[in-house]
């Protein structure tokens, strides 16, 4: 296994809605491991399966100190959320853009783990924000879609003038140069 390439804006595959997971077997376990490996290699705190061109409702988070406790959310369903506030976000699929968007910092979610065990969890702070950001990916939404109209238009023009749809190269292990 190891890190995989990440789709980048304006690739239309990022806009596809993901389907629920209905089989909790070795293929799902392999996908979860690839998500975690890619997330950690990119030094990110979250990653959703659609970013790897897999349109299943699977995402991973790791907001732990030292990024050593990855969490897996399969078929996450938001049950409740707190009042939104403005939070600063960025995204591996929208490289080079950092912007403030409205996002709840407290959320209750029903989710399954990699074995299919369902639980209800409450997250707050960075974990809640990251979870909601990644759930947006499952629905084909990018954080830039949450910007005010004129800011969103400016960012899209900037991205479209400099980016081509495709994939980011899979990150190299620390200490190795990336091929350009």
Answer yes or no: 134 catalytic.
yes
Instruction: Identify the structural domains of the chain with CATH numbers, from first to last.
Output: 6-164 (3.90.45.10)
**What are 5-40's pLDDT values in tens digits?**
999 999 999 999 999 999 999 999 999 999 999 999
pLDDT single digits (tens) 126-163: 999 999 999 999 999 999 999 999 999 998 888 888 76
pLDDT at 42: 95
Query: What pLDDT is attached to residue 77?
Result: 98
Provide long-range contacts, Cβ within 8 A and 24+ apart, for 142-150.
Answer: 142/9, 142/14, 142/91, 142/93, 142/94, 143/89, 143/90, 143/91, 143/94, 143/99, 143/101, 144/9, 144/91, 144/94, 144/97, 144/99, 146/101, 146/102, 146/103, 147/99, 147/101
The predicted-structure confidence for 63-111, as pLDDT tens digits, reads as follows 999 888 999 999 999 999 999 999 999 999 999 999 999 999 999 999 9
- Residue among 122, 134, 160, 169 flagged as catalytic: 134
Query: For residue 177, is pLDDT > 80?
Result: no
Q: What is the model's pLDDT at position 128?
A: 97
Report if pTM > 0.75.
Answer: yes
pLDDT over threshold 80, residue 176: no
Percent of the chain with pLDDT strictly greater than 90: 81
């Amino acid at each position: 296994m190891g890190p995989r390439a990440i789709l980048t804006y304006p690739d239309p595959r990022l806009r596809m809605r993901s389907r629920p997971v209905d089989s909790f077997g070795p293929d799902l376990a392999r996908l979860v491991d690839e998500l975690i490996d890619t997330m950690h290699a990119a030094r990110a705190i979250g990653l959703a399966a659609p970013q790897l061109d897999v349109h299943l409702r699977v995402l991973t988070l790791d907001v732990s100190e030292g990024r050593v406790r990855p969490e897996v959310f399969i078929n996450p369903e938001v049950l409740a959320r707190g009042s939104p506030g403005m939070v600063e976000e960025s995204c591996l699929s929208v490289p080079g853009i950092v912007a403030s968007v409205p996002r709840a910092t407290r959320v209750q979610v029903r989710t399954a783990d990699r074995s299919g065990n369902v639980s209800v969890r409450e997250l707050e702070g960075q974990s809640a924000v990251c979870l909601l950001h990644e759930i947006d990916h499952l629905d084909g939404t990018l954080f830039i879609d949450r910007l005010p109209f004129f800011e969103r238009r400016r960012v899209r023009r900037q991205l479209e003038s400099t980016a081509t749809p495709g994939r980011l190269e899979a990150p190299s292990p620390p200490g190795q140069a990336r091929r350009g």
